[in-house]
Amino acid sequence: MKILNLNINGVIHTKAVPATMTLLDFLREEVGLTGTKNGCDSGECGCCTVMIDSKPMLSCIMLALEAERCDITTIEGIANGNDLHPVQEAMVEKGAIQCGYCTPAMVINGVHLLENNDNPSETQVKECISATVCRCTGYNSIEKAMHSAASKMRKARHG
């Protein structure tokens, strides 16, 4: 066992866990943050994406101990209190959530893209979305949501 201190959504969580525990299991089983999903457990589907030091990473193929001294943001840390992030708002407005299983990862990747580039090309949005498998295949509405969120963010920033 190893004692880990992980900074998740701005809160330090200290747990004694096997050194081989993945970050995904740490989040879901040790901390109870079940918004991050396990779609394949093998680095294929993208559903387990979280932000590590502001970059999207797959938590199912990362050890929890590798995330020590990093800032970890999960889907639970994306909204600001009761205020949804524009990407979350747009996903709801555009009907881009079907079963919702891929939604946390889609949102994490969308937030990363749009926080760095609020005027993305069609191709950049498609690339962003392609990082996650949506079994409900609602890719068109997710794409529309990303463009709508970009527009909201441009308006908020530049008027």
Residues of this chain that bind ligand FES (CB under 6 A): 38-41, 43-48, 58, 60, 97-103, 134-136, 138
Helices of type H across 5-138: 23-25, 86-93, 103-116, 122-129
The C-alpha atoms of residue 60 and residue 56 are separated, in whole angstroms, by 12
Contact between residue 37 and residue 48 where contact means Cβ atoms under 8 Å apart? yes
Helices of type H across the chain: 23-25, 86-93, 103-116, 122-129, 139-158
Encoding tokens for residue 66?
A: 């590798």
Beta-strand pair 71-73/49-52: antiparallel
**Nearer CB in complex with ligand FES: 114/131:** 131
HSE of 122 in the Cβ direction (CA atoms, 13 Å)?
Answer: 1
**Length in residues, the chain:** 159
